[in-house]
């Protein structure tokens, strides 16, 4: 038990030194309740064309399927709230995409964390995940005592809001576990539900992914966006932060200190005309290490046209 305590303290200290803002531990168990919820959500088609959500169901709900002999799930938060905001009137880009692609940044930090755990503890089997594998990050964050899942589906931390990337490290190392976060501080507030431009947030903490602006502007690969959504995108070109921007808990958000997330200048001040006149070559050059490359140049141009048609 003394070892568990020592190893837990070491991991939390190392995580902080690598730039993670919060770190919590939960026992690796099968998430039966989450499995039921996910099954219902998929059955209702709320994932739209995101077929990958249907894949690897067992892996999503059972950490031992991802790491044999898994005993602990370590959840880490990395703040991305920017100190600078976009110029008013410019096509909206979700704050998480202002700087360098978070997958690249956090993956490297997870690699270093696992490496330092092995150097300190000895032979440890583990795998790090950041939004790139079938892991129910928010469930593990709540089980690790880091916050509660809000009505908009985001994990909310009482001290610092929801503008965080969530990373997960599953390991076969036994640790001291944090108490799950038992309270829900959303109360009777419905600001996120009321503000959602496409009414994608439903009662009961259910988000219809197939109606979310982030889904249309990032995930949907078809070159034609649905006509009934015209004029409903609130000038969002890539992603959407509306439900987080109106959340009262985000008044506690503090600017991040991660240089890799420094905003790309074009994101902050490029007008619709500027985006329109951009060539594919320029786009690839400017956004080579940005999350915007996920939607590709054609996707951005499609979104831009759709915004203009809706005006």
Q: Indicate the SS3 state at residue 22.
A: strand
pLDDT on residue 19 = 97
Burial class (CB in 10 A: 0-12, 13-18, 19+), 228: exposed
Q: What is the pLDDT along the chain (311 residues), one digit of tens a residue?
A: 679 999 999 999 999 999 999 999 999 998 877 766 766 766 677 656 656 555 656 667 789 988 999 999 999 999 999 999 999 999 999 999 999 999 999 999 999 999 999 999 999 999 999 986 656 889 999 999 999 999 999 999 999 999 999 999 999 999 999 999 999 999 999 999 999 999 999 988 889 988 999 999 999 999 899 999 999 999 999 999 999 999 999 999 999 999 999 999 999 999 999 999 999 999 999 999 999 999 999 999 999 999 998 76
The confidence score (pLDDT) of residue 44 equals 72
Degrees to nearest 5, angle at CA 246 with 245 and 248: 110
Q: Give the HSE-up count for residue 200: Cα atoms under 13 Å, Cβ half-sphere.
A: 26
131 is catalytic: yes
pTM for this prediction: 0.92
Sign of CA dihedral 23, 60, 101, 50: negative
What is the reported pLDDT for 133?
60
Structural domain count of the chain: 1
Contact 169, 74 (CB under 8 A): yes
What range defines the domain where residue 191 resides? 1-311
- CB of 135 within 8 A of CB of 223? no
Among 34, 62, 131, 234, the active-site one is 131
Residue carrying structure tokens 């929801």: 162
């Amino acid at each position: 038990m003394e070892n568990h305590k020592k190893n837990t303290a070491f991991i939390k200290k190392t995580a902080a030194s690598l730039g993670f803002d919060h770190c919590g531990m939960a026992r690796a168990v099968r998430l039966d309740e989450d499995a039921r919820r996910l099954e219902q959500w998929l059955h209702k088609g709320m994932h739209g064309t995101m077929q990958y959500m249907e894949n690897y169901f067992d892996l999503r709900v059972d950490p031992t399927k991802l790491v044999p002999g898994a005993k602990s799930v370590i959840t880490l938060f990395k703040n991305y709230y920017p100190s600078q905001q976009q110029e008013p009137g410019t096509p909206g880009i979700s704050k998480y995409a202002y700087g360098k692609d978070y997958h690249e940044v956090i993956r490297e930090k997870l690699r270093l964390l696992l490496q330092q755990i092995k150097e300190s503890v000895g032979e440890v089997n583990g795998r790090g995940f950041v939004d790139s594998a079938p892991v129910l990050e928010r469930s593990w964050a709540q089980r690790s005592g880091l916050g509660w899942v809000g009505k908009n589906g985001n994990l909310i931390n009482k001290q610092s809001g929801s503008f965080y990337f969530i990373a997960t490290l599953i390991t076969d190392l036994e640790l001291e576990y944090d108490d799950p976060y038992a309270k829900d501080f959303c109360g009777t507030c419905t600001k996120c539900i009321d503000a959602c431009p496409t009414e994608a947030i439903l009662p009961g903490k259910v988000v219809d992914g197939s109606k979310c602006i982030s889904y249309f502007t990032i995930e949907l690969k078809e070159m034609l966006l649905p006509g009934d959504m015209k004029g409903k995108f609130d000038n969002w070109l890539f992603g959407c932060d509306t439900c987080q921007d109106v959340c009262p808990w985000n008044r506690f958000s503090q600017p991040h200190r991660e240089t890799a997330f420094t905003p790309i200048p074009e994101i902050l001040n490029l007008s619709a005309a500027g985006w329109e006149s951009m060539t594919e070559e320029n786009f690839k050059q400017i956004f080579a290490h940005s999350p915007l490359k996920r939607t590709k140049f054609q996707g951005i141009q499609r979104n831009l046209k759709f915004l203009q048609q809706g005006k």
